Structure 1
């Protein structure tokens, strides 16, 4: 049996150690990543190396799926999912909205999740079934229309008809459609109640499990784009499409997307 509370402590230590090199004043170099407009910095590599060092020292037999180095270890057992710098584009343009994410998945299900904000130095964490640490609910404000975060994968081109249709529907019915390019921070915003939903379309796996677990422990539920319950499982690189919201908001968001 894996001690999930020990795993959380290790993940928190690893995420905060990585965050120490990601401050707003850190110097970095930038290079292209793939052919779809993504970029990577040497800070991504440094942060990932720090996190992997902590995880391998504590759990040498566990597999790791990391943003920059990919899949290491055999599938089927415990899997750590590491996003060392979620929001790299934001960092490169001087926007202080990025984070570090570390999650442990068992049988694909997120069981430990940690998100650390290097700018504010805040850390949020969850163990499945044990609630969230570090979360302060947002001040309640009445909103006649929802604030929704749109998250799409880098493989989604500007001519994707489904993406265009979904975004247009959300724009017409929402108070604001947030495209922060830092999905982990929007999970925290959803968990706090600062926004009302996340719509994800063909997004990658590494920036999902930590925030999804934290949000779920705060009362958020997930459904696929057809409205069926969505059981987020991460067992390797794959695309995910879903809607995340509190139960009372989910039906209206799904109706917008299906309309």
Structure 2
């Protein structure tokens, strides 16, 4: 039986290879291939090429596993393991040359839906700054960084000054008023707000103690599959509205005590 550590090792290897390809294509110049849910919601040729690379590597290494990715059709699992992949999380950052984008790869067991799966291993790699965040179920989480070196990850509870909270906003203009109204209810808890533009890096920022909490409406499974496991293995909690799992409706991540406070406010 394959262990979470073995799945983690494969996720790391493929994430690094895929990240190198994404960075190379960024240097060569980015071409917008299409829009998705809205005019501002873009996909580049590199998104598709990177996902094809990841999918091909996984098909070679683990042909019985399922696949759920942002840019291609899902495939069912014959092994009980599904790989949940965002080839370039933060595509708008990537297109603009902002060095906050990442390859996100997770291996999950059970049905390929966040409400039912159990994440086993994950890797989030930002090639622009050579930082890899990774975790395996029951083994903790770590950062391998060209800037900071290697360290175990641990979430942080906010200080008396308030919480540094990250969030995001959807591409549909019809949702912006609701998102801004929710932000107003959160502000009394906040020291300040960060808007990074890549859910995987928001989540790993919580895991690393770089931000205290993160919440966002509208995430897809591939946006949070790896990052949520990394937060949990760093001692944090990830959920949705009160008592729910992360979903399109809401995703919240924080250290345990502040998680409860933020969830109460966001769910009100």
TM range, smaller chain = 0.7 to 0.9
Question: For structure 1, which segment, 104-113 or 75-84, has the greater mean C-alpha deviation from structure 2 after superposition?
Answer: 75-84
For 1:68, which of 66, 71, 77 is the aligned residue?
71
Gaps in structure 2 of 5+ consecutive residues: 111-116, 144-150
SS at match of 1:21: helix
CA distance in 1: counterparts of 2:231 and 2:266, whole angstroms = 21
Native 8 Å contact 2:65 2:78 kept in 1: no
CA distance in 2: counterparts of 1:59 and 1:219, whole angstroms = 30
Native 8 Å contact 1:200 1:241 kept in 2: yes
Native 8 Å contact 2:203 2:253 kept in 1: no
| 1:100-119 equivalence runs, <5 A | 100-107=103-110, 108-119=117-128
For 2:196, which of 157, 160, 180 is the aligned residue?
180
Please name the residue that 1:131 is paired with: 140
Is 1:246 aligned with 2:247?
no
Q: Give, in angstroms, the shift of residue 175 of structure 1.
A: 2.1
Higher helix share: 2
CA distance in 2: counterparts of 1:144 and 1:196, whole angstroms = 12
Please name the residue that 1:93 is paired with: 96
CA distance in 2: counterparts of 1:244 and 1:163, whole angstroms = 17
Q: Give, in angstroms, the shift of residue 76 of structure 1.
A: 8.7
TM-score calculated relative to the size of structure 1: 0.87
CA RMSD of aligned residues (A): 2.5
Question: For structure 1, which segment, 22-31 or 3-12, has the greater mean C-alpha deviation from structure 2 after superposition?
Answer: 22-31
Change (3 A) 1:139 1:201: closer
Native 8 Å contact 2:212 2:254 kept in 1: yes
CA distance in 2: counterparts of 1:246 and 1:44, whole angstroms = 32
Q: Give, in angstroms, the shift of residue 246 of structure 1.
A: 0.4
Change (3 A) 1:70 1:150: farther
Change (3 A) 1:197 1:52: same
TM-score calculated relative to the size of structure 2: 0.84
CA distance in 2: counterparts of 1:173 and 1:239, whole angstroms = 23
Q: Give, in angstroms, the shift of residue 22 of structure 1.
A: 2.0
Question: For structure 1, which segment, 109-118 or 67-76, has the greater mean C-alpha deviation from structure 2 after superposition?
Answer: 67-76
Q: Give, in angstroms, the shift of residue 81 of structure 1.
A: 0.3
Native 8 Å contact 1:151 1:203 kept in 2: no
Please name the residue that 2:146 is paired with: none
Native 8 Å contact 1:197 1:245 kept in 2: yes
CA-to-aligned-CA distance 1:96-129 (integer Å, 9 cap, x gap): 1100010001021111111111112221211111
Is 1:208 aligned with 2:204?
no
Count, aligned residues:
251
Q: Give, in angstroms, the shift of residue 25 of structure 1.
A: 2.1
Is 1:121 aligned with 2:130?
yes
Q: Give, in angstroms, the shift of residue 168 of structure 1.
A: 1.9
CA distance in 2: counterparts of 1:150 and 1:189, whole angstroms = 12
CA distance in 2: counterparts of 1:96 and 1:64, whole angstroms = 27
